[in-house]
Amino acid sequence: AALPAQTACGTGSEVLLQAFNWESCREPGGWWNRLSAEAGDFAKAGFTAVWLPPCTDSVSPEGYLPQDLYNLDSKFGSTTELKALVGQLRGLGMLPVADAVLNHRCASGRDERGAWNQFGGRLDWDAHAIVSDDPNFSGRGGRSSGENFHAAPNIDHGQDFVKRDLSEWLLWLKEEVGFQGLRMDYVKGFAGHHVGDYVRSTEPAFSAGLPVERLQEHFGPRAARGLDRQRGSCCRERGSCRLLLH
């Protein structure tokens, strides 16, 4: 079915399904295969967008500690199964939404001082990709523009090579894998103008970040204003307006 014309904030009438939970990575037979078996029911129920969990190689099975961004074999299933699912959702007239963890990335090796800041895979960054005020990973980039996440190296989005590499990766998810929507995790970790840059560089049909209200309540007005300035390029994720698949 043909999808309606959309901006990065969608049509305004999306019905978004959060198609996973914290245990989905442990699904016998693989989560992508389960969703594929139920995709027709999602469409019949009236869902117009399906938010999938982070699909990359990850230190944590749930996907929120990404490592090799171009490796899409995960605890949810294989690259082939993911692409088949994304194509199926599109064929049923639903927007497949990628969950992109941009704030942080796990290294695959240590430097000469023992700090985990050497990255592997296609994006083989070093300590210059990590913010300098992250106390755990000896970063050599600039200072963070948001709240640090202490379980993994916080990425410096002010570095030109980081912005270029992540923008190209997001575009690859769109053009090579088939994702049409974008949900960005932990946007309190970097400034709102970076969020806007990623959305504008990849032009997803739909994009969302954390709710401004939650940012204001828990992390103060600075974080809330950062995302709010991107109004028109990125929507606010509201937990009351989505359904969770168990």
Tell me the per-residue pLDDT of 68-99, one tens digit each, with 9 for 90 and over. Answer: 999 999 999 999 999 999 999 999 999 999 99
pLDDT for res 241: 39
Residue 9 — pLDDT band, cuts 50, 70, 90? Answer: low
- Summarised one tens digit per residue, pLDDT across range 14-56 is 899 999 999 999 999 999 999 999 999 999 999 999 999 999 9
From the list 208, 233, 232, 224, the residue with the least C-alpha distance to 14 is 208
Helix (H) or strand (E) holding 112: none
pLDDT at residue number 11: 67
> What does the pLDDT average to over 56-67?
97
Query: Per residue in 185-206, pLDDT tens?
Result: 999 899 999 999 999 999 999 8
pLDDT at 89: 98
Q: Both tokens of residue 1?
A: 């079915």
β-strand partners of 183: 99, 208
What pTM does this model have? 0.84
Q: 218 or 46: which carries more pLDDT confidence?
A: 46
What is the pLDDT, as a whole number, of residue 206?
Answer: 87
pLDDT in tens, 119-178: 999 999 999 999 999 889 999 999 999 999 999 999 999 999 999 999 999 999 999 999
Say if residues 26 and 222 touch (Cβ distance below 8 Å).
Answer: no
pLDDT at 13: 75
- One-letter amino acid identity for 12? G
Q: How confident is the model at residue 238 (pLDDT cuts 50, 70, 90)?
A: very low
pLDDT of residue 8: 55
Q: For position 171, what pLDDT does the model report?
A: 97
Q: Confidence band (pLDDT; 50, 70, 90) for 10? A: low
- Mean pLDDT taken over the chain: 86
What is the pLDDT, as a whole number, of residue 135? Answer: 85
224 compared with 151, residue with greater pLDDT = 151
